[in-house]
Chains A and B, each alone.
Chain A
Amino acid sequence: MAALDKPAAPRSGANTVIGSTIVIDGEISGDEDLTIEGTVKGKIALRQSLYVESSGVIEADIETANVEVSGQVTGNIAATDKVELKANCKVVGDIRAPRILIADGAAFKGNVDMEVGLRGPSPRGK
């Protein structure tokens, strides 16, 4: 439902962009959408959406509402809403989120936890 609006709208008006030549070694936190085309090592904590573009490389634990990965992620991902692994992405780490989408062509190694056993209907409730 809301997923239809999410991908396009925030990106066009993306507030924060980490460019392709940027390397951040440390912690990123914030309350807005974040698009990463460069490299981030450390930790990412957002209350909005994280977009890892195809040139993006992340070696970090991620805590956000939404994650869309087209690039590389090494680390654990915890999302309160949704994690989407797009085609040609590479992800190594555990993913925990109510909704997890893995597209055809995505490379992924790790555990998936949709919290099914405990809260099956909760994603819809949220």
Chain B
Amino acid sequence: MATANGSTVIGESILINGGLQGDEDLTVRGRVEGTVTLTRTLVVEPTGVVKAEVQVKNCIIAGVVIGNVTASESVEITKEGRMVGDIAAPRVIIVDGASFKGRVDMGEVDVSAAERSERPAPRALSRPAPRPALTARPASRSAPKEEAAGEVAAAPRPPAPPPALGVGAVKRKVVVKRK
């Protein structure tokens, strides 16, 4: 069956150390160390351990993956999955129970596209709101107070320390004057 489907299985006791690349699904029940490059799906089963730089189309992690995973479609960490490394994929699924440490990058293009498509109306409402508020608030000086307060608070503070040095000089002068 497995051979007929053209899928590859790495058995439990098998250790592969080096580069692995191919154009078919790969199921790992054993250990793979090095690099894995596939144009299809990598499945790491619960007994599988992959310590590698992984580049695939899809990745399903039910075992252990240590290394960075880059997928052109999706990465899914199941409840049995454990992963340490960075994920870069347009779709990243982390199920409850999964353990993961690393960074996730779903791509900046998709984020901006999502904002443009999903929040055109909210932005139109939210953007005008702050602008009038800023233009209106200077009159009432509700918001500028905070900014001004921050500037004022920041402005006096730098002068304060120099006087501390100057104060010593002044004190000496004062002492001289007292004599």
Whether the pair B17, A15 counts as a contact (CB closer than 8 A) is no
Whether the pair A16, B14 counts as a contact (CB closer than 8 A) is yes
Expressed in whole angstroms, the Cα–Cα distance for A21 and B7 within the complex equals: 9
Whether the pair A17, B13 counts as a contact (CB closer than 8 A) is no
Smallest distance from the beta carbon of B167 to chain A beta carbons, Å? 72
Smallest distance from the beta carbon of A37 to chain B beta carbons, Å? 7
Residue in A closest to B10 when the chains form the complex, CB atoms:
A16
Whether the pair A15, B18 counts as a contact (CB closer than 8 A) is no
Whether the pair B22, A27 counts as a contact (CB closer than 8 A) is no
Cβ-based interface call for A75 (8 A): no
Within 8 A of A (CB), among B1-17: 2-3, 6-17
Cβ-based interface call for B20 (8 A): yes
Residue in B closest to A36 when the chains form the complex, CB atoms:
B8
Whether the pair B19, A25 counts as a contact (CB closer than 8 A) is yes
Cβ-based interface call for B151 (8 A): no
Expressed in whole angstroms, the Cα–Cα distance for A34 and B17 within the complex equals: 15
Smallest distance from the beta carbon of A54 to chain B beta carbons, Å? 12
Point out the residues of chain B lying under 8 angstroms from A19, CB to CB: 3, 6-8, 22, 24, 26
Cβ-based interface call for A38 (8 A): yes
Within 8 A of B (CB), among A1-45: 14-35, 37-38, 42
Whether the pair A29, B2 counts as a contact (CB closer than 8 A) is no
Q: Could you list 27 A-B pairs, sorted by A, with CB under 8 Å?
A: A14-B3, A16-B14, A17-B9, A18-B8, A19-B6, A19-B22, A23-B20, A23-B22, A24-B18, A25-B18, A26-B16, A26-B20, A27-B17, A27-B18, A28-B14, A28-B15, A29-B14, A30-B13, A30-B15, A30-B30, A32-B11, A32-B12, A32-B14, A33-B11, A34-B11, A38-B22, A42-B18
Question: B residues engaging A (CB < 8 A)?
Answer: 2-3, 6-24, 26, 29-30, 34
